[in-house]
Amino acid sequence: MESARYLDDAGQALPAGFIHVNVLQTICTVLVEHGTDPDDLVTEAGIDPRVFGGGKFVPFTAVGRLIALAADRTGCTHFGLLIGQRTTLTSLGLIGLLMRNSDTVGNALRALEAHLCVRNRGAAVGLGVHDDIAVLTYAPHEPEAKGAAHHAERGLAKTTNLLRALCGSEWTPLEVLLPRSMPHDISPYAGFFRAPIRFDEQTAALVFPTKHLAERIADADPAVRQRVEDSIRQLEAAEPSSLTDELRQYLRTEVTRQRCKAERVARLRLVDRRTLGRRLKAEGTTFTRLANEAQYRVAKQLLADTRMDMTQISVALNFSEPAAFTHAFRRWSGTTPSAWRQVNQPTGRRTDVESSGTRTRPAGAGAEQDKAEPA
């Protein structure tokens, strides 16, 4: 039976901050193909080797450290891309089966957005529609963690493969946005995505026409879809998320869309702002604290992994001017963003980006990024 191939995660709830062990197995396979023994790297990344003996999940941040180590030791700057290219609908277990049996591509992507936590509770997928343009984002919950940029490109390669499985192998996005500086060789990215690549961006995203969302999925089975949805709900009920966790996930995907407003979140949850505040207080936090945390984490990632200057970062995070961003960053970290970048950006990327005021882009990647509606 075809569905049996997808059900490796049936009955196994995923804790917060973890990802399915399959990604670890893929990393080790790619390492071996590059002539590198994965055992020492796995230990160096802080991963318990016993997970290979039947474990189902591994810390998301530890996987990021492993990918970063693998990229460094192999000299393969697109290591995350190679991992994502191995993804298939089947390899995603229940989520893949749900997507395969959704009636349209749009509903398949919404299922991925809603239920990614069954396979991955270290990142969030967001689907935005703006007139005739759709934007599918992939956002690690801890963007400042080591290897987050590699995770982001892995996520975009994964979703590209999923869309090609649903729409046909010739599917291509209009453009690809990556929150990392441009490597010396962009041919692996151009060859896989077959679209303009924009590096040094504020988020990881695939941009494509909305018409693809309405495409019907051939041979989708509503009965299978219903059974899989029931199984997924049972898994999610076994590891419920707190309101704080849910808002962290929401804010991570929305922080660069300028939608981090308590009123907007309250409307989405069908409660008033005071009720939202009371529920968060009961969990020991506030909306302002969570929003600041999201901004701070994304700021650190953009400072470390991209060549965006302070003006560009302040705009991306919805600050009125660079001075306001600098003031907030100093309050969060105790130092200025420029000083933090000097310490935390890889040596090869420590260029005077503030004085240049420009970002390098590969040829053919000049299209303007679609702008999200204001909050």
Give the pLDDT confidence of 131-188 residue by residue, as tens digits: 899 999 999 988 888 999 999 999 999 999 999 999 999 999 999 999 999 999 999 9
Average pLDDT over residues 286-302: 91
Domains of the chain in sequence order: 77-224 (3.90.1520), 244-356 (1.10.10.60)
Size of the chain, expressed as the number of residues it contains = 375
Lowest mean pLDDT across 79-93, 110-124, 358-372: 358-372
Of 278, 345, 279, 334, nearest to 308 by C-alpha is 345
Task: Give me the percent of the chain exceeding a pLDDT of 70.
Answer: 85
Band of pLDDT at residue 287, cut at 50, 70 and 90: confident
Question: At what angle are helices 105-115 and 148-167 packed, to 10 degrees?
Answer: 150
346 or 303, greater pLDDT: 303
The predicted-structure confidence for 177-195, as pLDDT tens digits, reads as follows: 999 999 999 999 999 999 9
Helix ranges (H only) for the chain are 22-33, 38-44, 60-74, 79-84, 94-100, 105-115, 148-167, 187-193, 222-238, 243-254, 262-268, 273-282, 287-305, 310-316, 322-333, 337-344, 353-356
